Structure formats: C-alpha cells, structure tokens
C-alpha cells in the first residue's frame, strides 16, 4: 500500500513512517520542516527514513512543502 504521512519529519510522523516502511508499505512523507523547534532534529529524522528505505527496499518519497500553500 502507498501511504501519505503528513508531518513526516515530526515526532509522530517519523515514528509512523518508520513503522510503515518496516512492514513494507511505500511512504510519501510531506513536511514543511518548520522551525518550531530544532530543524536539525527533523533533518536527521528524514535521513533515517531514507536510510530505512534503502535498508528495507521499501520506497520513501519526501515532499518538502507547506500544506497551507495554495497554488492559484
Ligand atoms: N507528540 C505527542 O505526544 C502528541 C500527543 C497528542 C497529539 N499530538 C498532536 O499530533 C500532531 C503531531 O505532533 P508531533 O509531536 O509529531 O509534532 P511535531 O512538531 O514534532 O511534528 C509536526 C510536523 O508537522 C510539520 N508541519 C506543521 N505544519 C505544517 C504544514 N502546514 N505543512 C507541512 N508540514 C507541516 C512540522 O514541520 C513538523 O515536522 C500535532 O498536531 C500534535 O498536537 C501530539
């Protein structure tokens, strides 16, 4: 199954995406990587998700956008 995880660089989104990749579900992560707290923590989570994808052979795609942005 292909699953969209919003807030994938955040605490809950990262752990959710990790479990999904581990069980073999393709993940599309979506996150603006905002600076509400240390951005380095979020970047390291994204690196871990890409590494987990390589390790498991399950695809992980990441979209760095703001959900609130609307193209007119
Ligand atoms: N952590 C908890 O224990 C807990 C408990 C109950 C509810 N929640 C709720 O669950 C949600 C996630 O919590 P968390 O702890 O993972 O927070 P978090 O701040 O670690 O993660 C949220 C992620 O969403 C991203 N984000 C925010 N607005 C965005 C937007 N407009 N477009 C794209 N990305 C955006 C941020 O960059 C961040 O990486 C929050 O709504 C929180 O209130 C969390």
- pLDDT one-digit tens code per residue, 13-34: 999 999 999 999 999 999 999 9
Residue 70 pLDDT class (50, 70, 90 cuts): confident
Q: Would you say residue 11 has pLDDT above 80?
A: yes
Which protein residue's CA is at the shortest distance from atom 21 of ligand 1?
A: 10
Taking CA 56 as the corner, what is the angle to CA 50 and CA 60, rounded to the nearest 5 degrees? 35
Q: Would you say residue 72 has pLDDT above 70?
A: no
- Write the secondary structure of 3-72 as one string of H (helix), E (strand) and C (coil): EEEECCCCHHHHHHHHHHHHCCCEEEEECCCCCCCCHHHHHHHHHHHHHHHHHHCCCEEEECCCCCCCCC
Give the CA diameter of the chain: 40
Classify 1 as helix, strand or coil.
coil
Which protein residue's CA is at the shortest distance from atom 3 of ligand 1?
A: 12
Whole-prediction pTM: 0.95
Q: Could you tell me the residue ranges of all domains in the chain?
A: 28-66
- Kindly report the average pLDDT of the chain as a whole number: 97
């Amino acid at each position: 199954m292909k699953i969209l995880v919003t807030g994938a660089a955040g605490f809950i989104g990262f752990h959710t995406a990790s479990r999904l990749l581990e069980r073999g579900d393709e993940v599309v992560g979506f996150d603006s990587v905002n600076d509400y707290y240390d951005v380095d923590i979020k970047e390291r989570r994204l690196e871990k998700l890409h590494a987990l994808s390589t390790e498991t052979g399950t695809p992980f795609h990441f979209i760095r956008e703001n959900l609130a942005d609307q193209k007119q």
